[in-house]
Structure 1
Amino acid sequence: MDSLTQVVLGSSVAALVVPERHRRVALVAGGILGTLPDLDVFWFGLAGSDVVTQVTWHRGPSHSLPVLAVAGWLLWLWLKRRSALVGESPRRWLWAIWLALLTHPLLDAFTVYGTQLLWPLQMPPVMWSSIFIIDPAYTLPLLFGVILAWWLSPGGAGAGAGPGAVRRSRSAHRWLVIGLSLSSLYLAWSMAAKCTVDRIAAQSLATMGLQDAPRFSTPLPFNTLLWRVIVMAPDGYWIGDRSLIADRGRMRFIFRPSDTRALAQLAATPQLRRLLWFTHGFVGVQARQRGDGARRLILSDLRMGLEPDYFFRYDIAGQDAEGRWLAAPEITRIPAPGNRLSGLAWVWRRLLGREAQQ
């Protein structure tokens, strides 16, 4: 998820478990800890690495539940000796640290990018893909809860003093609970919506003889009411959209060809093998001709973006004079399209049933 969401989630869970007089400190500390795993680009030097390393190692060791559990415990041991607050209520602060750290990768796992929850085990990244990476409906309840808790907690401008202070402090706690409860209910709704779409897709694919084909579903940007289902085939992939507001009956799927034969010839290269592991094989491959006449093989990560302008696209091979594909010395990323407003406008129209499927 985006950084703001991780900050307010970390703030909320940390502030809920510490004593009320520690709440404002926990709001700050939880926010810092909540965004800490995403700094792996600095910790592991990913910023200066090749694109495959950058993409596939992000949400890796820094998002591993075992790694973060141990790191949180070590941080707690260090703080217990140096912080009066932690020393005053050590168990509650241990839970605050753990919750702020561990909820980050767990929330990321609900997106489609992929999160290596059990690194160093070499299992494919977890991608429950029930929520888009940015979704205001999830974030805003947490944000409002954190703001009101800060305002009403002891030391806040709205906290006041005297007999009403206890009541306002309880209100701060209640707003944190409300914010976290609403966001959690929305996350539960996203899973229910995904199950609904998957069931409808399975029924439609069965009539096409594709009931056993690898597939995944994911919400389109900023909502959980419009979904996309990608179904892999030996010579390409099928795309189906489902608006939970406007669509009725069976899902309609559109076929897109993919040069799977060329991909199979190149799949033994280490970089490409790593990329296919990370994407679970949900990729499309097309030949493109550059302005200089050279033909290149372009791989698209089908999990993120709209056809044909996917967010992650890679130049993986070139064609020699005899028409053979030769793996690129190093896979490079093709910049994503600059203007996405038209794509977002299409999402809105498609959600309301005013636009045909792409």
Structure 2
Amino acid sequence: MDSITQAVLGGALQGAVLGRIQGRRSLIYGAALGTLPDLDVVIRYADPVSQMTFHRGFSHSIFVLTGLALLLAWLVAWRWPGRGYTPGRLFLAFWLALVTHPVLDAFTVYGTQLFWPLHLTPESWAAVFIIDPVYTVPLLLAVGYAAIRGLKGRATAMLCLALGFSTLYLGFGLAGRMAAEQRFHLALQAQGIEASEVRAVPIAFNSLIWRVLAKTPDGGYYEGVSSGFDREPPEMLRQSLNLDAAKVLAGAPLHERLRWFTDDWLRYDIIGDSLVVTDLRMGMPGNYSFRFEMARRDAAGQWTVIQPRGWVGGGAASLFDGERLSLIWRRILDQQPPLPLAVWAGHL
């Protein structure tokens, strides 16, 4: 999730565990540890696919971060003896501030390599959007109160209360995701459509409305929108994954890495003389966050795999289209009129 959320989560955790010993400094130390795993963004890679798929890698591994927490606890206990610290309490505070960062990231759809160096599909639980005020604001208020009033009495209780609420909210998001997938699956079955895979992801700053994807065995997929307040079947749009176009990329290492990272939620489009690969997990029809040009066609009609380049229409800005967001938020409570998915898809 965003850096502010990770900082206040780390600050709240260390404040709750070590606040009586470290005072307000615990909030600062915890915020620093809570954002530490994202320092991997300073590493520059030669292409956007590598940049995307190596982020949330080794620095988000629970194995690496557990080792770091052990090292920090030993160093602090050795350097500052007699301060009231116990090695176990120090380790718990540091471990929580560090490890909750990748765990929280795993609750988003991006993909987090929690178990690096094991080559497992990155965790992508898709319970919350990458920015969700309902999750962040209670933690921010609690940390702010503790910073002003100090870590005594009511402040610690408020930190614990905010942490409890934020944890319950993640559970609410997981339940909402499973319900959205079930609604979509039933809607497909009612039309006699068999889906091989179904997954839902939250849309734009809340966990009430979901974008749902469903693959079909014939190489197509359905994309739709479902809200917990719906009383009618969700609107949906059938499209093709264009898997024949992917044959050009057979055996290309970066393409295989992208398939692994996204759990193969990819679509292929020939646009002019470019083969564009789209990560379907993030964005909306016609406006996806991650799109890459991965092959080009020459004048003789021969395809050549190239070093990936970002494609116009991708990037973080695709998540914040004001006109679409207003329609999406209205759609939370009202299914009519349905979202213009086909019109949006035509903008690719």
TM-score normalised over the length of structure 1: 0.88
Check if 1:240 corresponds to 2:224: yes
Taking structure 1 as reference, are residues 320 and 215 closer, same or farther at Cα in structure 2, changes over 3 Å only?
farther
Q: Any conservation in 1 of the 2:10–2:31 contact (CA below 8 Å)?
A: yes
- Counterpart of 1:122 (choices 115, 119, 123) is 119
Taking structure 1 as reference, are residues 100 and 92 closer, same or farther at Cα in structure 2, changes over 3 Å only?
same
2:310 alignment counterpart: 333
Tell me which amino acid in the other structure corresponds to 1:20: R
2:295 alignment counterpart: 317
For residues 76 and 21 of structure 2, the distance between their equivalents in structure 1, rounded to whole angstroms, comes to 18
Tell me which amino acid in the other structure corresponds to 2:24: R
Shift of 1:228: 0.8
Show CA shifts across 1:108-164 (max 9, x none).
Answer: 11000000110101011000101000000000010011111122225xxxxxxxxxx
1:132 alignment counterpart: 129
Structure 1 runs (4+) greater than 4 angstroms displaced: 84-87, 208-212
For residues 283 and 40 of structure 2, the distance between their equivalents in structure 1, rounded to whole angstroms, comes to 24
Taking structure 1 as reference, are residues 210 and 40 closer, same or farther at Cα in structure 2, changes over 3 Å only?
farther
Q: Any conservation in 2 of the 1:284–1:299 contact (CA below 8 Å)?
A: yes
Shift of 1:307: 0.9
For residues 197 and 64 of structure 1, the distance between their equivalents in structure 2, rounded to whole angstroms, comes to 30
Check if 1:188 corresponds to 2:166: no
Q: Any conservation in 1 of the 2:269–2:275 contact (CA below 8 Å)?
A: yes
Q: Any conservation in 1 of the 2:53–2:257 contact (CA below 8 Å)?
A: yes
Check if 1:178 corresponds to 2:161: yes
For residues 187 and 53 of structure 1, the distance between their equivalents in structure 2, rounded to whole angstroms, comes to 29
Q: Any conservation in 1 of the 2:195–2:215 contact (CA below 8 Å)?
A: no
1:345 alignment counterpart: 326
Q: Any conservation in 2 of the 1:349–1:355 contact (CA below 8 Å)?
A: no
1:24 alignment counterpart: 24
1:159 alignment counterpart: none
Shift of 1:254: 1.0
Identity rate, percent: 38
Q: Any conservation in 1 of the 2:276–2:294 contact (CA below 8 Å)?
A: yes
Q: Any conservation in 2 of the 1:124–1:278 contact (CA below 8 Å)?
A: yes
Deviates more, 1:235-244 or 1:142-151: 235-244
Matches within 5 A, 1:135-174: 135-153=132-150, 169-174=152-157
Show CA shifts across 1:265-317 (max 9, x none).
Answer: 3131011111111111111111112xxxxx21111111111111101110011
Q: Any conservation in 1 of the 2:19–2:156 contact (CA below 8 Å)?
A: no
Tell me which amino acid in the other structure corresponds to 1:235: G
Check if 1:300 corresponds to 2:283: no
Give the SS at the match of 2:207.
coil
- Counterpart of 2:47 (choices 42, 47, 50) is 50
Q: Any conservation in 1 of the 2:53–2:258 contact (CA below 8 Å)?
A: yes
For residues 258 and 80 of structure 2, the distance between their equivalents in structure 1, rounded to whole angstroms, comes to 44
Larger CA Rg, structure 1 vs 2: 1
For residues 86 and 35 of structure 1, the distance between their equivalents in structure 2, rounded to whole angstroms, comes to 26
- Counterpart of 1:218 (choices 195, 201, 212) is 201
Tell me which amino acid in the other structure corresponds to 1:315: E
For residues 256 and 167 of structure 2, the distance between their equivalents in structure 1, rounded to whole angstroms, comes to 36
Show CA shifts across 1:237-290 (max 9, x none).
Answer: 210110223x2133332111232101133131011111111111111111112x
Taking structure 1 as reference, are residues 102 and 214 closer, same or farther at Cα in structure 2, changes over 3 Å only?
same
Give the SS at the match of 2:325.
helix
Give the SS at the match of 2:129.
coil
1:38 alignment counterpart: 38
Q: Any conservation in 1 of the 2:235–2:338 contact (CA below 8 Å)?
A: no
- How many residues get paired? 334
Tell me which amino acid in the other structure corresponds to 1:62: S
Tell me which amino acid in the other structure corresponds to 2:112: T
